[in-house]
């Protein structure tokens, strides 16, 4: 494997010059530049990550990470935070620090304020689970247009200029739910659907994926009724109970987002656990137990740990090593968990 040193010797210039060429720092004679580039290409030069990483230590980089505070109402984020903290500890080895802030999902003003605070404190990159509100969207757009690197997590703002998105393909995750539903009901079912909010983009995407897929491929499945639980377990209990009492013909339940525990409580209180096939998202502490007990037959997962770590990797590559993300969309793998492959 060739090194900068070797290229420098072959080109008859100093390592500094090679570095300037290879990293587009400018101020290099164009003839020398050309020569260096030729040699680098001929030797198939690839930079040595360990060397780059080591040199990062002197930069004392800092990144910001903003995500939802609702780890209690939506325990999915517990695993995301776990990923962030693990990777942050590793990055600490290179004097890279991560400043984590939490916002309520309904508080765009606070989220914008946190963005600004982090910027003032001198971060050189931001990972954020953005609230889908014009205030936030505009702020991110502005940052991006100034060349400031932003990575969106869990929820995307596609035309904002952010350098990458890490998270689920929600439409596809809805289709996957449809596929599971079809398998477990042998092609014929009356589905009750409980969603958090029809205003949250990722949830409407899931619903769209589900609806379109059954419409095109699984016509024996129909959505009998839909309720909204506001991602709240208690409300979830109430509306699910109402839903099931009102529509006794329902034989499967599609839980689009949080409030899993509440919904399942309603099912068991009505004595419908045997009768109802429940499909949900994410393997949180609560849903794991419910899968294990048989109350939930399948959960669709979206790599929460990876959602925590990957954005930091992308930012470090971009800011620390000058490496662009390989792609724009880092979609998480859609896993299916049942009782037997849960642990």
Binding site for a second copy (CB under 8 A): 1, 46, 48-51, 53-54, 92-95, 172, 175-176, 178-180, 183-184, 186, 213, 297-298, 300, 333-341
Q: How far apart are CA 206 and CA 187, in angstroms?
A: 20
Q: Which does 17 bind (CB under 5 to 8 A by kind): DNA, a second copy, none?
A: DNA
Q: How far apart are CA 148 and CA 128, in angstroms?
A: 13
Q: Which does 10 bind (CB under 5 to 8 A by kind): DNA, a second copy, none?
A: none
Residue whose CB is less far from a second copy, 101 or 172: 172
Q: Which stretch binds DNA (CB under 7 A): 3-11, 229-237, 282-290, 293-301?
A: 3-11
Q: What is the chain's alpha carbon radius of gyration, rounded to the nearest angstrom?
A: 24
What is the helix (H) or strand (E) element at residue 223, kind and residue range? strand 221-228
User: Which residue in 130, 2, 96, 36 sits closest to 318, CA to CA?
Assistant: 96
In 3-state terms the chain splits into helix, strand, coil percentages (rounded to 5) of 50, 15, 35
Q: Which does 23 bind (CB under 5 to 8 A by kind): a second copy, DNA, none?
A: DNA
How does DSSP assign 194-210, residue by residue? EES-TTSHHHHHHHHHH
Q: How far apart are CA 50 and CA 256, in angstroms?
A: 43
Q: How far is the CB of 317 from DNA (least distance, A)?
A: 11
Among 9, 19, 289, 313, binds DNA (CB under 7 A): 19
Q: How far is the CB of 13 from DNA (least distance, A)?
A: 4
Q: How far is the CB of 335 from a second copy (least distance, A)?
A: 6
Residues 303-342 touching DNA, rule: CB under 7 A, are 321-322
Residue whose CB is less far from DNA, 24 or 327: 24
Residues 34-73 touching DNA, rule: CB under 7 A, are 47-48, 50-52, 54-55, 57-59
The Cβ of residue 103 has, within 10 Å, a number of other Cβ atoms equal to 24
Q: Which does 128 bind (CB under 5 to 8 A by kind): a second copy, DNA, none?
A: none
Residue whose CB is less far from DNA, 20 or 241: 20
Maximum pairwise Cα distance, the chain: 82
SS3 254: strand
Which tokens is 156 given?
């995307």
Which tokens is 62 given?
């800092």
Q: Which residues bind to DNA, rule: CB under 7 A?
A: 1, 3-5, 12-17, 19-20, 22-23, 26-29, 32, 47-48, 50-52, 54-55, 57-59, 321-322
């Amino acid at each position: 494997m060739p090194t900068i040193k070797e290229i420098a010797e072959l080109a008859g210039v100093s390592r500094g010059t090679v570095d300037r060429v290879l990293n587009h720092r400018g101020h290099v004679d164009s003839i020398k530049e050309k020569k260096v580039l030729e040699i680098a290409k001929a030797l198939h030069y690839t930079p040595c990550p360990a060397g780059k990483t080591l040199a990062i230590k002197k930069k004392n980089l800092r990144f910001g990470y903003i995500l939802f505070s609702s780890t209690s109402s939506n325990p999915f984020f517990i695993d995301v935070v776990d990923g962030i903290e693990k990777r942050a500890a590793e990055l600490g080895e290179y004097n890279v620090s991560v400043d984590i802030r939490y916002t309520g999902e309904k508080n765009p003003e606070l989220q914008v304020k946190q963005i600004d605070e982090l910027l003032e404190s001198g971060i050189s990159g931001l990972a954020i689970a953005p609230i889908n509100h014009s205030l936030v969207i505009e702020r991110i757009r502005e940052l991006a247009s100034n060349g400031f690197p932003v990575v969106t997590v869990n929820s995307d703002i596609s035309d904002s200029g952010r350098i990458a998105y890490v998270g689920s393909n929600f439409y596809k995750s809805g289709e996957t739910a449809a596929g599971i539903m079809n398998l477990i009901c042998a092609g014929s079912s009356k589905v009750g659907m409980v969603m958090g909010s029809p205003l949250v983009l990722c949830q409407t995407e899931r619903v769209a994926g589900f609806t379109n897929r059954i419409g095109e491929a699984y016509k024996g499945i129909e959505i009998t009724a839909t309720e909204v639980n506001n991602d709240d377990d208690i409300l979830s209990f109430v509306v699910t109970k109402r839903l099931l009492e009102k529509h006794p013909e329902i034989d499967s339940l599609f839980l689009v987002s949080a409030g899993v525990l509440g919904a399942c409580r309603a099912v068991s209180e009505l004595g419908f656990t045997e009768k109802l096939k429940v499909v949900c998202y994410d393997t949180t502490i609560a849903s794991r137990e419910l899968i294990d007990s048989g109350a939930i037959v399948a959960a669709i997962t979206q790599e929460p740990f990876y959602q925590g770590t990957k954005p930091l990797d992308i930012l470090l590559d971009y800011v620390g090593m000058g490496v662009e993300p390989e792609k724009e969309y880092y979609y998480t793998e859609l896993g299916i968990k049942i009782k037997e492959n849960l642990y």
